A and B are shown apart, each in its own frame.
Chain A
Protein backbone atom coordinates (compact mmCIF):
# COMPACT_ATOMS: atom_id res chain seq x y z
CA UNK A 1 0.00 0.00 0.00
CA UNK A 2 1.39 3.35 -0.96
CA UNK A 3 1.22 5.84 1.84
CA UNK A 4 0.35 9.33 0.87
CA UNK A 5 2.76 11.80 2.37
CA UNK A 6 2.58 15.48 2.96
CA UNK A 7 5.87 17.27 2.67
CA UNK A 8 5.72 20.13 5.06
CA UNK A 9 8.70 22.37 5.04
CA UNK A 10 10.80 22.33 8.19
CA UNK A 11 10.55 26.07 8.72
CA UNK A 12 12.42 26.21 12.00
CA UNK A 13 15.39 24.25 10.71
CA UNK A 14 18.10 23.46 13.24
CA UNK A 15 16.59 25.84 15.82
CA UNK A 16 13.45 23.71 15.74
CA UNK A 17 15.50 20.80 16.99
CA UNK A 18 17.68 22.56 19.53
CA UNK A 19 15.38 25.09 21.14
CA UNK A 20 13.07 23.83 23.85
CA UNK A 21 10.50 26.50 23.04
CA UNK A 22 7.67 26.45 25.55
CA UNK A 23 8.44 22.87 26.55
CA UNK A 24 10.21 21.94 29.74
CA UNK A 25 13.41 20.27 30.86
CA UNK A 26 12.56 17.03 29.04
CA UNK A 27 12.73 18.83 25.73
CA UNK A 28 16.32 19.85 26.44
CA UNK A 29 17.00 16.33 27.68
CA UNK A 30 15.81 15.18 24.24
CA UNK A 31 18.08 17.63 22.41
CA UNK A 32 21.05 16.58 24.50
CA UNK A 33 20.13 12.92 23.95
CA UNK A 34 20.45 13.42 20.21
CA UNK A 35 23.67 15.41 20.38
CA UNK A 36 25.31 12.85 22.68
CA UNK A 37 23.93 10.05 20.49
CA UNK A 38 25.52 11.51 17.37
CA UNK A 39 28.79 12.08 19.24
CA UNK A 40 28.88 8.51 20.51
CA UNK A 41 28.02 7.16 17.04
CA UNK A 42 30.88 9.12 15.47
CA UNK A 43 33.30 7.85 18.12
CA UNK A 44 31.96 4.30 17.85
CA UNK A 45 32.48 4.05 14.08
CA UNK A 46 36.11 5.15 14.47
CA UNK A 47 36.45 2.89 17.51
CA UNK A 48 35.53 -0.18 15.43
CA UNK A 49 38.20 0.67 12.86
CA UNK A 50 40.88 1.49 15.45
CA UNK A 51 40.34 -1.51 17.73
CA UNK A 52 40.21 -3.84 14.73
CA UNK A 53 43.85 -2.91 14.15
CA UNK A 54 44.69 -5.79 16.47
CA UNK A 55 44.26 -8.22 13.57
CA UNK A 56 47.72 -6.99 12.46
CA UNK A 57 49.27 -8.09 15.75
CA UNK A 58 50.42 -6.59 19.05
CA UNK A 59 52.80 -4.08 17.48
CA UNK A 60 50.03 -2.58 15.32
CA UNK A 61 47.84 -2.27 18.43
CA UNK A 62 50.57 -0.49 20.37
CA UNK A 63 51.26 1.86 17.43
CA UNK A 64 47.60 2.82 17.06
CA UNK A 65 47.20 3.32 20.83
CA UNK A 66 50.30 5.55 20.89
CA UNK A 67 48.55 8.01 18.55
CA UNK A 68 45.85 8.62 21.16
CA UNK A 69 48.08 9.20 24.17
CA UNK A 70 47.82 12.98 24.01
CA UNK A 71 45.95 15.22 26.51
CA UNK A 72 43.58 16.30 23.74
CA UNK A 73 42.51 12.75 22.90
CA UNK A 74 42.26 11.94 26.60
CA UNK A 75 39.90 14.86 27.08
CA UNK A 76 37.96 13.72 23.99
CA UNK A 77 37.63 10.26 25.50
CA UNK A 78 36.36 11.80 28.72
CA UNK A 79 33.76 13.73 26.71
CA UNK A 80 32.66 10.43 25.17
CA UNK A 81 32.44 8.99 28.69
CA UNK A 82 30.24 11.91 29.79
CA UNK A 83 28.07 11.48 26.69
CA UNK A 84 27.79 7.75 27.44
CA UNK A 85 26.73 8.33 31.06
CA UNK A 86 24.14 10.91 30.05
CA UNK A 87 22.78 8.96 27.07
CA UNK A 88 22.60 5.70 29.04
CA UNK A 89 20.80 7.14 32.07
CA UNK A 90 18.45 9.32 30.06
CA UNK A 91 17.81 6.26 27.87
CA UNK A 92 16.77 4.31 30.97
CA UNK A 93 14.21 7.04 31.70
CA UNK A 94 12.99 6.93 28.11
CA UNK A 95 12.51 3.15 28.21
CA UNK A 96 10.65 3.37 31.54
CA UNK A 97 8.29 6.07 30.25
CA UNK A 98 7.92 4.39 26.83
CA UNK A 99 6.62 1.31 28.63
CA UNK A 100 4.17 3.57 30.47
CA UNK A 101 5.63 3.33 33.97
CA UNK A 102 6.19 6.22 36.36
CA UNK A 103 3.61 8.51 34.82
CA UNK A 104 0.58 7.52 36.87
CA UNK A 105 -2.81 6.62 35.47
CA UNK A 106 -4.53 8.78 32.84
CA UNK A 107 -6.60 11.47 34.52
CA UNK A 108 -9.15 14.02 33.52
CA UNK A 109 -7.44 17.38 33.00
CA UNK A 110 -9.33 19.19 35.73
CA UNK A 111 -7.51 22.31 36.88
CA UNK A 112 -5.28 22.19 38.88
CA UNK A 113 -3.77 19.02 37.39
CA UNK A 114 -0.33 17.61 36.71
CA UNK A 115 0.31 16.29 33.24
CA UNK A 116 2.19 13.04 32.60
CA UNK A 117 5.44 14.87 31.80
CA UNK A 118 5.41 16.61 35.16
CA UNK A 119 4.45 13.43 36.98
CA UNK A 120 7.50 11.64 35.60
CA UNK A 121 9.83 14.58 36.28
CA UNK A 122 11.24 13.11 39.53
CA UNK A 123 12.51 10.29 37.32
CA UNK A 124 14.51 12.79 35.27
CA UNK A 125 16.03 14.20 38.45
CA UNK A 126 16.95 10.75 39.77
CA UNK A 127 18.61 9.54 36.54
CA UNK A 128 20.52 12.80 36.19
CA UNK A 129 21.86 12.48 39.75
CA UNK A 130 23.04 8.93 38.96
CA UNK A 131 24.62 10.19 35.70
CA UNK A 132 26.49 12.92 37.57
CA UNK A 133 27.79 10.39 40.12
CA UNK A 134 29.05 8.13 37.29
CA UNK A 135 30.66 11.12 35.54
CA UNK A 136 32.42 12.15 38.78
CA UNK A 137 33.79 8.63 39.28
CA UNK A 138 34.81 8.54 35.61
CA UNK A 139 36.59 11.89 35.96
CA UNK A 140 38.43 10.66 39.05
CA UNK A 141 39.55 7.61 37.13
CA UNK A 142 40.51 9.55 34.00
CA UNK A 143 42.51 12.28 35.68
CA UNK A 144 43.53 11.25 39.18
CA UNK A 145 43.58 7.49 39.71
CA UNK A 146 44.16 6.03 36.24
CA UNK A 147 47.37 5.71 34.34
Chain B
Protein backbone atom coordinates (compact mmCIF):
# COMPACT_ATOMS: atom_id res chain seq x y z
CA UNK B 1 0.00 0.00 0.00
CA UNK B 2 1.13 3.55 -0.67
CA UNK B 3 3.06 4.98 2.23
CA UNK B 4 1.12 8.26 2.14
CA UNK B 5 -2.14 6.34 2.54
CA UNK B 6 -0.80 4.51 5.59
CA UNK B 7 0.23 7.87 7.05
CA UNK B 8 -3.27 9.30 6.57
CA UNK B 9 -4.73 6.22 8.31
CA UNK B 10 -2.23 6.83 11.12
CA UNK B 11 -3.57 10.36 11.59
CA UNK B 12 -7.23 9.28 11.37
CA UNK B 13 -6.53 6.50 13.90
CA UNK B 14 -4.93 9.13 16.15
CA UNK B 15 -8.11 11.22 16.07
CA UNK B 16 -10.28 8.17 16.87
CA UNK B 17 -7.96 7.20 19.74
CA UNK B 18 -8.12 10.76 21.09
CA UNK B 19 -11.87 10.38 21.62
CA UNK B 20 -11.98 6.76 22.81
CA UNK B 21 -8.84 6.83 24.96
CA UNK B 22 -10.04 10.17 26.35
CA UNK B 23 -13.21 8.41 27.54
CA UNK B 24 -11.14 5.45 28.78
CA UNK B 25 -8.80 7.67 30.79
CA UNK B 26 -11.68 9.66 32.26
CA UNK B 27 -13.42 6.49 33.41
CA UNK B 28 -10.27 4.82 34.72
CA UNK B 29 -8.12 7.60 36.09
CA UNK B 30 -10.32 10.59 36.75
CA UNK B 31 -12.84 8.28 38.40
CA UNK B 32 -12.76 9.94 41.83
CA UNK B 33 -13.41 13.35 40.27
CA UNK B 34 -16.21 11.96 38.09
CA UNK B 35 -17.69 10.03 41.02
CA UNK B 36 -17.83 13.17 43.15
CA UNK B 37 -19.86 14.70 40.30
CA UNK B 38 -22.19 11.71 40.36
CA UNK B 39 -20.90 9.92 37.23
CA UNK B 40 -19.27 6.50 36.96
CA UNK B 41 -18.36 4.07 39.70
CA UNK B 42 -16.33 4.33 42.88
CA UNK B 43 -13.75 1.72 41.88
CA UNK B 44 -13.58 1.23 38.09
CA UNK B 45 -11.23 -1.78 38.25
CA UNK B 46 -13.29 -3.69 40.82
CA UNK B 47 -13.98 -7.07 39.20
CA UNK B 48 -17.77 -6.75 39.48
CA UNK B 49 -17.71 -3.33 37.80
CA UNK B 50 -15.28 -4.54 35.13
CA UNK B 51 -17.44 -7.51 34.20
CA UNK B 52 -20.62 -5.43 34.24
CA UNK B 53 -18.95 -2.97 31.86
CA UNK B 54 -17.68 -5.75 29.60
CA UNK B 55 -21.25 -7.01 29.17
CA UNK B 56 -22.46 -3.67 27.80
CA UNK B 57 -22.69 -3.54 24.02
CA UNK B 58 -21.29 0.01 23.87
CA UNK B 59 -18.10 -0.96 25.70
CA UNK B 60 -17.66 -4.23 23.78
CA UNK B 61 -17.81 -2.40 20.44
CA UNK B 62 -15.66 0.56 21.50
CA UNK B 63 -13.08 -1.79 23.06
CA UNK B 64 -12.63 -3.50 19.70
CA UNK B 65 -12.46 -0.20 17.78
CA UNK B 66 -9.95 1.21 20.27
CA UNK B 67 -7.92 -2.01 20.18
CA UNK B 68 -7.66 -1.94 16.38
CA UNK B 69 -6.95 1.76 15.96
CA UNK B 70 -4.46 1.86 18.84
CA UNK B 71 -2.59 -1.20 17.58
CA UNK B 72 -2.37 0.28 14.09
CA UNK B 73 -1.36 3.73 15.34
CA UNK B 74 1.22 2.37 17.77
CA UNK B 75 2.82 -0.24 15.56
CA UNK B 76 2.86 2.01 12.49
CA UNK B 77 4.45 4.74 14.60
CA UNK B 78 7.05 2.26 15.84
CA UNK B 79 7.68 1.17 12.24
CA UNK B 80 8.15 4.84 11.27
CA UNK B 81 10.89 5.17 13.85
CA UNK B 82 12.61 2.00 12.66
CA UNK B 83 12.38 3.08 9.00
CA UNK B 84 14.44 6.15 9.86
CA UNK B 85 17.39 3.87 10.54
CA UNK B 86 17.71 3.53 6.75
CA UNK B 87 18.11 -0.24 6.93
CA UNK B 88 18.46 -2.52 3.94
CA UNK B 89 15.21 -3.04 2.05
CA UNK B 90 15.07 -6.69 3.06
CA UNK B 91 15.27 -5.83 6.76
CA UNK B 92 12.54 -3.24 6.31
CA UNK B 93 10.30 -5.87 4.74
CA UNK B 94 10.96 -8.29 7.59
CA UNK B 95 10.17 -5.57 10.16
CA UNK B 96 6.93 -4.61 8.41
CA UNK B 97 5.88 -8.24 8.16
CA UNK B 98 6.70 -8.98 11.77
CA UNK B 99 4.86 -5.91 13.10
CA UNK B 100 1.81 -6.67 10.93
CA UNK B 101 1.82 -10.25 12.22
CA UNK B 102 2.05 -9.13 15.87
CA UNK B 103 -0.70 -6.56 15.35
CA UNK B 104 -3.10 -9.02 13.73
CA UNK B 105 -2.42 -11.63 16.42
CA UNK B 106 -3.01 -9.19 19.31
CA UNK B 107 -6.10 -7.80 17.59
CA UNK B 108 -7.52 -11.31 17.22
CA UNK B 109 -6.77 -12.17 20.86
CA UNK B 110 -8.16 -8.91 22.26
CA UNK B 111 -11.28 -9.10 20.10
CA UNK B 112 -11.83 -12.69 21.20
CA UNK B 113 -11.52 -11.61 24.85
CA UNK B 114 -13.95 -8.69 24.41
CA UNK B 115 -16.57 -10.82 22.63
CA UNK B 116 -16.06 -13.83 24.92
CA UNK B 117 -16.61 -11.83 28.13
CA UNK B 118 -19.54 -9.98 26.52
CA UNK B 119 -21.26 -13.34 25.86
CA UNK B 120 -20.22 -14.88 29.20
CA UNK B 121 -23.08 -15.84 31.51
Measured CB to CB, the residues of A under 8 A from B are 5, 7-10, 17, 34, 37-38, 40-41, 44-45, 48-49, 51-52, 54-55, 58, 61-62, 65, 77, 81, 84, 88, 91-92, 95, 98, 137-138, 140-142, 145-147
A-B contact pairs, 20 of them (CB 8 A): A34-B81, A37-B77, A44-B70, A48-B109, A49-B109, A54-B50, A54-B54, A61-B50, A61-B51, A65-B47, A88-B22, A92-B18, A95-B15, A137-B30, A137-B33, A138-B25, A140-B33, A141-B32, A145-B33, A146-B32
Instruction: Indicate whether B29 reaches chain A with its CB closer than 8 angstroms.
Output: yes
- Cα of A41 to Cα of B106 in the assembled complex, Å: 13
Q: Does B4 contact A (CB under 8 A)?
A: no
- How distant is A37 from chain B, measured CB to nearest CB, in Å? 5
Decide if A45 touches B106 in the complex (CB within 8 Å). yes
Q: Which residues of B contact A (CB under 8 A)?
A: 11, 14-15, 18, 21-22, 25, 29-33, 36, 42-43, 45, 47-48, 50-51, 54, 67, 70-71, 74-75, 77-78, 81, 84-86, 88-89, 106, 109-110, 112-113, 116-117
CB distance from B98 to the nearest CB of A (A): 13
